[in-house]
Chains A and B, each alone.
Chain A
Amino acid sequence: MTGSDEEERTGAASDPLDPDDYDAVDVFEGGDLDLRAGSDSCYKCTSCDTSCPVAEVDDSFPGPKFQGPEQWRLKRKEDADIDDSITSCSNCMRCDDACPSSVPLSQMHNEARGEYVDEQMDKLSREYVRNRILSNYRFFAAIASKTPRLANFVTGLGVTQWAGEKLLGITSEREFPDFAEETFREWWRKRGGAAVENPDKRVAYFHGCYSNYNTPEVGKAMVRVYEEFGYEVLVPPQKCSGTPMFANGMLPDARRHAETNVENLVAAIGDGADVIASCTSCSMALRQEYPELFDLHGVDDVAEHTFEALEYLRINEDLEGALSEAELDGESFAYHAPCHARNQGLARQAVETFREVEGADIEDVGDSCSGISGTYGWKAEKYDYSMEIGAEMFEHMEAADGEVGMTECPTCAMQMEHGTGYEIRHPLQALESALVE
């Protein structure tokens, strides 16, 4: 079973290779993947197109079926360029989950986007520069958080937003997220690291950029909840997961970051830890995109040992039992499942977890995409589409009893707040309120 899954995922089913003993990424000369076998599995049911939030609102976007299997067939001819509509795919990865034939759609999109940026995009164009900046958010966040107040002041200035839009094509409709006065890692160092030592229960926290620079309260909640369950938390050195880079076709950037992450996470796994992420796009990257795109030592090991934070507790602890004693102070949440949680089978976990908690009322606001998709909704030319995709979610949030939103994804949270004005929390923060004194 594992063998055939691997074949389907990598599209190498037609090659006479031992599925248990090869690394899909490096069997093709020149290192390029041949995903045509995957496109042969497509029987044109259009489930992917139906599930694509961008195709729903953007008439000029031909949809995942074209971007994936069709484009892979077309590009067998050497003179066929990648269609520039590939830059409109927001990398929500819903098509993967929709495809009944396990066509590796998002992998095809990622490869095509990388090739497009590499070979066809003008490196001096405004769009390239803008996408490079957006996807390297971590680089700028690291600088900004040295002087968070100044950074917040500057990014909040109308002139900054005006310049962002005019010069770079970053929408002025959105407010830049605030930088925390103290990053998660600063807090962690100051605290002296882990408060619990336990060689038998260890987790390595992949906090990602956002909970480090912008919402350290999520990272702190993660630490406190896990320590409450007796875990020793490691915080290995790490860079960006690469999600915004995949979405913008900046694969060499993503690879560089992935090398650091995999190396450090493999070391942590060697120390007996499983990897935990609080951002579902980070866990998605470590679990699915890394092994699909990069041939790195230990990359499969990392994928096998990575979990989303709440998921891990549900698997390994009696979370239900602990919560049956707990209480929340009449909190009502309007919960949105991020696309990258949905694709990991985690769309319902928060609803299930809080359903039985005394005083908590949690409502799923439906299966629509929030529309921001990381950097997609930050692009001036995509902003309106982004809000149109999110409209259904905003309506459902307004209709829900809760006035507090909940989600695992930082950019979904941004969009939820932007569309409704609600305060947004992470399930870990609610767990912290319920379980930690």
Chain B
Amino acid sequence: MRLHEYQAKEVFSDAGIPTPDSALAESVDEVVEAAEDIGYPVAVKAQVHVGGRGKAGGIKLAENRDEAEEAAESIIGMDLKGYTVEQVLVEGAVDFVNELYVGVTMDRGEGKPVAMVSTKGGVDIEAVAEEDPDAIAREHIDPAFGMHPYQARKAVYDAGVDSDIAMDVASVLTTLYDLWDDKDASDAEINPLMVTSDDEIVAADAVLNIDGDALFRHPDLAEMEEDSYEDDLERKAGEYGFDYVRLDGNVGIIGNGAGLVMTTLDLVDYYGGEPANFLDIGGGAKAERVTNALDMVFSDENVDSVVFNIFGGITRGDEVAKGINEALESLDEIPKPVVVRLAGTNAEEGMEILNTDLVQVEATLEDAVQRAVENAEEEQ
């Protein structure tokens, strides 16, 4: 789960990391009012879940009231990489002499958290990691002990941070790690951490992503989750609780288990079709979930054909068949041809239940996918 910048900054600020004065605004008037309160110059920053906001025109500096109005007018309501900007953060601009990067994330290869510091802040840190990996100092943390103060100092000195501010940066890094640990974060980053001419440091941006599997421990953070779906179909998938990704093609794909669903997508492509979506009904799905899945795929007007690929383990074929029947029997007309392939746990029971007047049945994955691709071609 991604937090917005303003939400992440609240969390960082509460933990003691210095952040600029700021206010959230939703209209031009609110932006101007906030800017006057904070004092110019201010930055007006779109609050949407995309990276590279600055380059895309989602961040503007304003030196005075006219520029603040102008910035607000151009950003509020704009389309930023598919998202409409509804909120902006108005923030006191920091007069900086240097920009640093500090971050904490999970190194999945090592199975350990890693803290990172770089003097190359204010730019795309992933590009730095690729082009000049030595410019980022890294320190792996033992999750059982947490970050020792010496590790924070080591990372900061290894990165070549000026000694005048080194201890302050180390303290921010320690706070950031503790917060990452406390909040079950997957990533916590400040880029840039700005250094002023008075050797003050200020978090000018803030990234905080929380492990969705750990949200049950953090009801306060779960409340901050805002819908960030790209379209109505993704919103519907969120409500139904499906892993769903919309794609550009016309063959609708429903299956159980991420690996098998991805394989079904790959086979649709292999046999000359184009997948319309990835939809994983998950493990142990009951009839209602199956009905919802069909409803989802039929709601996508790009879909010309559907393939239902189930290999039961924890999921049972009879439950799936019941769900398919319920979904299709409730319709006056089946909008698009549906191919079903059922294997694994209770597949035989499922095949006996399945209303084969309403669907086409294939015994193998390969045959089912080819049939669905042919159906899609015929429908076009």
Asked if A pairs with B, the answer is no
A residues contacting B by CB (< 8 A) are none
Q: Contact residues of B with A, CB < 8 Å?
A: none
